[in-house]
Amino acid sequence: MIQLPPGWFSSNFYYDVDDTEVNEFYSKIENKSPTVTKSSMFFGLRQWDIFRYSLALGVYHKKDLDFKRVSANIPTDWLHDQDIIAMFAAVFSSKDVSLEILQDPKKIQIMCENFANYGVRKLIEINSQIDMGNPIKEYESLLTSIISQNN
């Protein structure tokens, strides 16, 4: 288990609460948030899983989107190894990032939040296209498409 030094990240991560769709997507509102929607791939998962996928999509599209940080609502207590690894990969994959960034964990957080802020919109988009009969169809297609592109 990866243990970051206490207080290394702030206690909560931010998402764009001003954007209603984003806000509802992260919240625990049924049929709005995939974590409480049974048909969703994210049903029963953590907000961090949405954040990690949003981060991945942002990284995939190589785009980030800064936003006004009103309130931090994703508690770092619930962080898993895969989230940390993903966030470090996202940060260190940038050419202009060096090991010194470890001295500035705040920057890592902001970079990841911005990638995720972009990626969450893509995720919302994909999620809105979900086939009720096959809720992971879009994700599956995306996965096979990426794999085929890579090969």
Partner 1 sequence: MTSQQILRIKSVTIKNFRAYHGDSGPILFSRDQSSPVTIFHGTNGLGKTSLFNAIHWGIYGKERKSKDHKTKSEGLVNSYVIDTISDGVDDEMFVKIQIENQNEDLQYEIQRKILLSKEGIGTDLITSDVLGGKVPRYIVANNEVIFSYKDPDSDDGELLKTSNPITVSSLLKKIFPRQLSNFFLLDGELLDDFMNSNDAFVKNGIEQISQLPLLVNAVKKIKFTSNKVGTGATSNRTNYTLTQDKISKKEIIRDKLKKDLPQIASETSELERQLDDGIRMILKYDADTVKTNQEQIEINKTTLKLLEVNIKDNKSKIQNLVYQNLDKMLMKNAYESASIKYKKYVEEKKLPSKFSKDILEQLLHTHECVCGRNLDEDKTAIDKIQDMLSVSYDSTLGVSMNKIVEQTSDIVNTSKDNLSLVGEIKECNTQISKYRIKRIDVKGLIESLEKELDKIKDEKLEDIRTNNNKLKIQIKDKSNLAHEKTLVLNSLNMELDNLDREFLKLKRLTIKDGHAVNKMKLAEYIETTLNKSHEQLRKEFVEQVQSATQELFMKTGPQARVFESISIDKNTFAISALRAKDKSKDISRGQAHVLGISFINAIRKITTKNYFMIIDSPFNNISQQERIDVCNEIPTSHKNTQLTFLVTDSEYKANIEEADLPSVRETLKKHNIIGCEYNLIQKPLAKIKSEEYFETSVEDYN
CA distance 105 to 119: 21
Report the 3 state secondary structure along 56-98: HHHHHCCCCCCCCCCCEEEEHHHCCHHHHHHHHHHHHCCCCCC
Closer residue to partner 1 in complex, CB, 32/92: 92
**Is residue 90 close enough to count as binding partner 1 by CB under 8 A?**
yes
Q: Are 120 and 48 in contact (CB under 8 A)?
A: no
Q: Which of residues 111-150 bind partner 1 (CB under 8 A)?
A: 134, 136, 139-140, 142-144, 146-148, 150
CA angle 124, 72, 64 (to 5 degrees): 50
**Is residue 8 close enough to count as binding partner 1 by CB under 8 A?**
yes
Task: Give the range of 26-34, 49-57, 64-72, 106-114 binding partner 1 by CB under 8 A.
Answer: 49-57
Instruction: Give me the residues that bind partner 1 (CB under 8 A), please.
Output: 2-6, 8, 41, 52-53, 55-57, 59-60, 81-82, 84-86, 88-93, 99-100, 102-103, 134, 136, 139-140, 142-144, 146-148, 150-151
